């Protein structure tokens, strides 16, 4: 049921009760059994959710089937530990029935927050992301972020668990239990009420706001030909043709590492790009691999470069949050035996440009490259520094015809709502598209099609509570979770001592 709530299948209402079977069974299990039940639940959730990693590792990582399957299962097992800890916390730290939904929601959000940042972070499949089509509910993300939506979903699951418990026991809840359940239901209703009025307000602001005309180019270059030197001319022909079809516009956006050479260092293909930009007569934001000399030799960066209508570099952003074992090997001295699992991605260094928006005409955009869209702090930093739209560029060709591209695209909806900024997405093989500040998907492409899209995207200038303060709510849940996990056992030991 957890898997079914995510795209695809995309049956997002299931998330409101998907945790009930696990949670309801915990009372009849011992602590160890509860932990294992949580891990089993996690495996059944994450294995179908991210199975596409196996496809990537075998086709592009050069791993045999057994090695790729082992890597996938290790990651799934790691993610499932969080679900196991959730189940263990529900078992080991009993609370009054009226507080069960709140304790469950606090524990779940705390664990999701840890997963977002621990070991570089892998916040794929956070429960709140399942609700990206639920426009009314997700408006609350401008206060609490996506983790606040996870909180409300787990709260709903907890209410159902307590209701089932009393139904099967044929008992009527006590007044304190009813008060707690009423408060929990009230918070969920408040989330929907807030979302309704906020959606109306934001849509009104969008109608009165200025806009920028942006084009995204999806050239559909297959991964096995992307870095083939004999295919460079065909790649540039395709990008040039689609880009010139898209003008006039304020900005043309190409995907991550769209240019399969070192722009500015390889003169012949670089001159072709410059000539096309001058012909188009507008700003271009292009993804390029970049090389810079250093004391240790050349350092390589995954870069987004802004070009003026005269093809002059106006600024650039280097990807800061790299993919472990995909774009670099962490702790190389300790993991000397490890190799990057996707050699075609490049061996990149961590960018040092910071979250400085790039200017095009009178507009500014923050750029999140591929994996960075999963980390809300990066988007926040760009908006706090003056970005009036957000751009994300990616190459999802690695994932083939799996649901990974749609899962990746759906995350953009939350970055738009959290910061009330339009999000422009350019992907090599799709999905490319536009999301407005309310989280509405204005237009998107199919995967593995060559095309360009041009759209007027609204520009809002205010800063939300979430933009200013970040995951304040999630941090509060983390502190509460840690304190309860420490205080409860200490109280028991103290009572025994007395």
Q: Return the active site residues.
A: 256, 319, 370
Place of tokens 């559909």: 220
Q: Which two tokens stand for residue 178?
A: 């009813």
Q: Is the dihedral of CA 413, 419, 420, 424 positive or negative?
A: negative
**353 CB neighbour count, 10 Å cutoff:** 16
Helix (H) or strand (E) holding 111: helix 100-117
Q: Which two tokens stand for residue 78?
A: 């790691």
Place of tokens 């001319």: 233
CA 151 – CA 408 distance, rounded (Å): 21
Which residues contact residue 303 at a Cβ distance below 8 angstroms, ignoring those fewer than 6 apart? 287, 288, 289, 290, 316, 317, 318, 319, 351
Q: Which two tokens stand for residue 323?
A: 């993919």
CA 149 – CA 120 distance, rounded (Å): 23
CA 434 – CA 441 distance, rounded (Å): 6
**479 CB neighbour count, 10 Å cutoff:** 12
Give which of 395, 426, 272 is closest to 323, Cα–Cα. Answer: 395
Q: What angle do CA 88, 117, 68 make, to 5 degrees?
A: 80
Place of tokens 């933009």: 467
Which residues contact residue 165 at a Cβ distance below 8 angstroms, ignoring those fewer than 6 apart? 24, 27, 97
**228 CB neighbour count, 10 Å cutoff:** 13
């Amino acid at each position: 049921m957890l898997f079914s709530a995510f795209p695809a299948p995309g049956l997002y209402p299931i998330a409101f009760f998907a945790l009930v079977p696990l949670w309801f069974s915990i009372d009849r299990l011992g602590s160890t059994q509860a932990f294992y039940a949580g891990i089993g639940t996690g495996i059944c959730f994450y294995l179908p959710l991210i199975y596409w990693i196996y496809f990537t590792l075998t086709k592009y990582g050069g791993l045999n089937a057994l090695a790729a399957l082992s890597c996938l299962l290790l990651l799934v097992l790691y993610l499932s530990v969080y679900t196991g800890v959730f189940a263990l916390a529900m078992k080991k730290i009993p609370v009054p029935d009226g507080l069960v939904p709140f304790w469950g929601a606090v524990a779940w959000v705390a664990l999701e927050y840890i997963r977002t940042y621990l070991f570089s972070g892998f916040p794929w499949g956070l429960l709140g992301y399942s609700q990206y089509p639920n426009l009314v509910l997700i408006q609350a993300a401008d206060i609490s972020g996506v983790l606040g939506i996870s909180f409300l979903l787990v709260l709903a699951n907890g209410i159902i668990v307590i209701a089932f418990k009393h139904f099967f026991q044929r008992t009527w809840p006590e007044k304190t239990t009813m008060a707690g359940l009423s408060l929990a239901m009230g918070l969920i209703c408040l989330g929907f009420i807030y979302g309704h009025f906020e959606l109306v307000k934001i849509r009104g602001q969008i109608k009165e706001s200025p806009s920028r005309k942006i084009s995204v180019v999806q050239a559909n270059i297959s991964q096995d030909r992307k870095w083939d030197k004999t295919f460079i001319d065909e790649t540039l022909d395709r990008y040039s043709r689609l880009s010139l079809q898209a003008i006039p516009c304020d900005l043309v956006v190409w995907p991550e590492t769209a240019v399969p050479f070192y722009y500015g260092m390889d003169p012949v293909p670089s001159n072709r790009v410059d000539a096309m930009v001058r012909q188009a007569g507008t700003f271009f934001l292009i993804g390029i691999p970049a090389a810079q000399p250093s004391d240790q030799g050349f350092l390589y960066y995954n870069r987004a470069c802004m070009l003026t209508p005269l093809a002059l570099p106006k600024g650039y952003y280097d990807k800061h949050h790299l993919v472990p074992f995909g774009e670099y090997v962490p702790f190389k001295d300790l993991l000397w035996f490890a190799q990057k699992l996707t050699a075609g991605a490049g061996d990149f260094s961590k960018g040092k440009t910071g979250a400085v928006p790039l200017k095009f005409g009178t507009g500014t955009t923050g750029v999140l490259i591929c994996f960075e869209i999963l980390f809300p702090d990066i988007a926040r930093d760009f908006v706090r520094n003056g970005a009036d739209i957000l751009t994300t560029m990616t190459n999802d060709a690695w994932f083939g015809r799996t649901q990974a591209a749609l899962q990746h695209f759906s995350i953009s909806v939350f970055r738009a709502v959290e910061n009330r900024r339009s999000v422009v997405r350019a992907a090599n093989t799709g999905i490319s598209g536009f999301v407005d500040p309310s989280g509405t998907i204005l237009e998107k492409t199919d995967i593995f099609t060559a095309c360009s899209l041009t759209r007027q995207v609204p520009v809002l200038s205010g800063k939300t509570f979430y933009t200013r303060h970040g995951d304040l709510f999630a941090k509060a849940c983390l502190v509460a979770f840690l304190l309860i996990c420490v205080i409860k056992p200490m109280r028991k030991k103290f009572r025994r001592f007395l």
